[in-house]
Homo-oligomer: A and B are copies of this chain.
Amino acid sequence: MLKAIQNLGCSSSGWLLWKTRTSTSTSTSACKTPSFRRFRARSESSPDAASASSSSPVALQSSSSGNVRKISFCQWCGGPTKHEIPSGEEKMRAICTVCGKIAYQNPKMVVGCLIEHDNKVLLCKRKIQPSYGLWTLPAGYMEIGESAAEGAIRETWEEANAEVEVLSPFAQLDIPLIGQTYIIFLAKLKKPQFSPGPESSECQLFALNDIPFNSLAFSSMFVTLNLYIEDVKAGKPKFHYGTIKKRPGTSPSDIHAFTLDYHLQS
């Protein structure tokens, strides 16, 4: 159940094993770090910072990364906020100076589908920023009132006009720097029909050897697709948990400049 992938090595996809270790020295927390890898490859043009979806909310949710200083007013009473660490807490919050309410900010979930069809996977080329013209799995922000699976189905319909059935959870990938968590499900087409939705310019099935790894939109998609290929090779899909940590000093637009920490499987 708990097993670090130790043997990925370098694949045709550019999935480069940089370093593997089992100590906890790479993390400031006490968390086990069974697998540690660093990827460095091509420079591309789209940050995860405003990534995750081709739905309009994504580009607009400028507070996704949780800059508490940007919260200047109370959304409930309109009073000005102060920025302090509340009593009994440890993090800076925006606190209303009139009604006293605290504006908490939390990470957002991005939900999507990895659709398998005839040994191929369905990708969408983005017709919107960020990452215009680059390829992604259909995915977007989860909404209140829906489950992650329902959200992934909805996003797939919106971006690829495809009706899908969710088969199993495949990956949870946290990106702490920008306050996002990707939840990706394996899915299959209910009918062999798809076409670009309003935010996609193309939708296409790719054989695993033909996935456009040089033109992917986000780090999360790079990781997800590589993990999937490795699982297919091993003959058994698993559930993967991991943390994508951007390498300090690198451009946010370089989707390959990150480490994958805490990689756990079940």
A contact residues vs B (CB 8 Å cutoff):
1-2, 29-32, 56-57, 60-62, 65-66, 70-78, 80-81, 86, 88-89, 91, 94, 101-109, 141-150, 153-154, 163-170, 172, 174, 176-177, 179, 181, 183, 190, 198, 236-239, 241, 243, 261-262, 264-266
CA distance A239 to B240 in the complex (A): 10
Evaluate contact between B72 and A266: CB separation under 8 angstroms: no
Evaluate contact between B103 and A169: CB separation under 8 angstroms: no
Evaluate contact between B73 and A75: CB separation under 8 angstroms: yes
Contacts of A106 on B, CB cut-off 8 Å? 108-109, 141-144
**Contact of A150 with B29 at beta-carbon distance under 8 Å, contacts A1-B236, A105-B144, A236-B1 already known:** yes
Evaluate contact between A61 and B104: CB separation under 8 angstroms: yes
**Contact of A264 with B169 at beta-carbon distance under 8 Å, contacts A77-B73, A109-B181 already known:** yes
Determine which of B31, B77, B145, B198 lies in contact with A176 in the assembled complex, contact meaning CB atoms within 8 Å: B145
Evaluate contact between B32 and A166: CB separation under 8 angstroms: yes
Known pairs A30-B165, A32-B166, A57-B104. 18 more at Cβ < 8 A?
A1-B167, A1-B168, A1-B236, A56-B88, A62-B101, A70-B76, A71-B76, A78-B78, A107-B144, A109-B181, A144-B176, A147-B176, A148-B172, A148-B241, A169-B172, A169-B239, A169-B241, A169-B266
CA distance A239 to B154 in the complex (A): 23
**Contact of A168 with B2 at beta-carbon distance under 8 Å, contacts A72-B75, A144-B66, A150-B176 already known:** yes
What are the 5 A-B residue pairs with the smallest beta carbon separation, nearest first?
A: A66-B144, A144-B179, A73-B78, A239-B266, A239-B239
Determine which of B30, B101, B141, B237 lies in contact with A104 in the assembled complex, contact meaning CB atoms within 8 Å: B141
Contacts of A183 on B, CB cut-off 8 Å? 172
Evaluate contact between B66 and A145: CB separation under 8 angstroms: yes
Q: Which residue of B lies closest to A73 (CB)?
A: B78
CA distance A94 to B183 in the complex (A): 26
Per assembly, the copies of the chain total 2
Determine which of B2, B80, B172, B174 lies in contact with A78 in the assembled complex, contact meaning CB atoms within 8 Å: B80
Closest beta carbon of chain B to A74's beta carbon, Å: 7
Contacts of A57 on B, CB cut-off 8 Å? 89, 102, 104
CA distance A238 to B239 in the complex (A): 9
Evaluate contact between A102 and B60: CB separation under 8 angstroms: yes
Contacts of A142 on B, CB cut-off 8 Å? 106-107, 181
Q: Which residue of B lies closest to A100 (CB)?
A: B60
CA distance A254 to B210 in the complex (A): 52
